[in-house]
Chains A and B, each alone.
Chain A
Amino acid sequence: MAIFSVYVVNKAGGLIYQLDHYAPRADTEKTFSFPLDLVLRPHDERVVVAFGQRDGIRVGHAVLAINGAEVNGRLTADGKDVLEFLSNPANYPVSIRFGRHRLSSNEKLMLASMFHSLFAIGSQLSPEVGSSGIEMLETDTFKLHCFQTLTGTVSAAWLGGGAVTELGLPHASVVVAPGIKFMVLADPRQAGIDALLRKIYEIYSDYALKNPFYSLEMPIRCELFDQNLKLALEVAEKAGPFGPGS
């Protein structure tokens, strides 16, 4: 799948819509005997593979389940610490499922707000006034495309009291008010994302804004929006230089 996900961030920086469009990555489940030849270490709230890549278990994969029971962060289903459990030879042989950890909704919310702040910094750093802000973020595994609507106009609020700077001008505070951001994470080779972002804007203005029961800036919970967005993603994938299933 060439388009991985779509995020919509409102004016205040909160995530109002998120869609994951990639095929679920294969999880790998294997039976191990003591001692474990993978090096595991705790990372955030999970236990991840640090070294010892083999057989489809890559560095960075998290422990998802032990003996069929899903782990809860760093604790097993019974409440025992995962690393302790795996360092005890009495528990072997053990079957562990590894896989890429999927972001939780809280993490997505946080990351979206962080991107919103970075975007604001990007616009302010621009040497030209009225910059479009960050349009694309490129890495080796994906490209993040961002489109902001209603590019913020600068409104200057003059502080009262006649206070002046040395130049004789009244003090001013400059406020840039941003619009809604649409972000698409896609394969680096996928083309036509600009057109897709415009299309998503149209779909948003049709199915979210015209829905009388949808309040502005709130999470988007419109069936029609979901359906049409998925259709648009499929069309964009088919039209790209690489067919689906790359």
Chain B
Amino acid sequence: SRELLVLTYGALVAQLCKDYEKDEDVNTCLDRMGYGIGVRLIDDFLARSAVKKCHSYSETADVIAQVAFKMYLGVTPSVSCSSAAGNEFSLILDKNPLVDFVEELPAERASLCYCNLLCGVIRGALEMVHLAAEVTFLQDRLKGDAVTEIGITFLRKAEDRKHKRN
């Protein structure tokens, strides 16, 4: 039944490409849809996986990679922390099931983020557990990079940072 999901996703992106001229619009639309899915998926994830509350960003990133991705997509990306402040993480996917049937992006859609839905889902889910984050694609295999890399930047950390608001 994963094939049906992949095919449906492909059809969705294709239809969006027909509806919108610009790549940014398609990306925004995918992100918004993903956000709507994420805010609902988080409860399903918490109900089924019974993970305890995460106390640090790295723990959160680990849980997303090892439990959530495994549960819903069947793949386990590897996590790496890419900033000294400890609030930027990357999930590196060697295998992305959503692009199983896609070879490469068509020439006129060079800046399309095909899996932007995933970014929206992660963003929505994190927001429901009160962790504001920005999620983007740092590398994309469809655009010629070696791996697919999703970057998560946590925006605001509670209690620890003592910066004054300007």
Interface of A toward B, CB cutoff 8 Å? 130, 149-156, 158-160, 162, 169-170, 177, 180, 198, 201-202, 204-206, 209-210, 216
| A149/B130 in contact, CB under 8 A | no
Residues on the B chain within 8 Å of A153, using CB: 53, 129-131, 158
Asked if residues B39 and A216 are in contact (CB atoms below 8 Å), the reply is yes
The 8 closest A-B CB pairs, nearest first, are A205-B44, A209-B40, A205-B43, A153-B130, A202-B47, A201-B47, A160-B165, A205-B47
* CA distance in complex: A158, B156 (Å): 12
Bin chain B's interface residue count: 20 to 34
Residues of B within 8 A of A160 (CB): 164-166
Interface positions of B (Cβ within 8 A of A): 39-40, 42-44, 46-48, 50, 53, 128-131, 156, 158-159, 162-166
Q: Do A210 and B164 contact each other (CB < 8 Å), given the known contacts A155-B158, A177-B130?
A: no
- Are the CB atoms of A158 and B164 closer together than 8 Å? yes
Known A160-B165, A209-B40: A155·B48 in contact at CB below 8 Å: no
Known: A155-B130, A209-B40. A149 touches B46 (CB 8 A): yes
Residue A130 contacts which of B53, B128, B131, B162 (CB distance < 8 angstroms)? Answer: B53
Contact B50 A198 (CB under 8 A): yes
Specify which of B39, B128, B162 is in contact with A169 (CB 8 Å cutoff): B162
Distance between Cα atoms of A180 and B166 in the complex (Å): 34
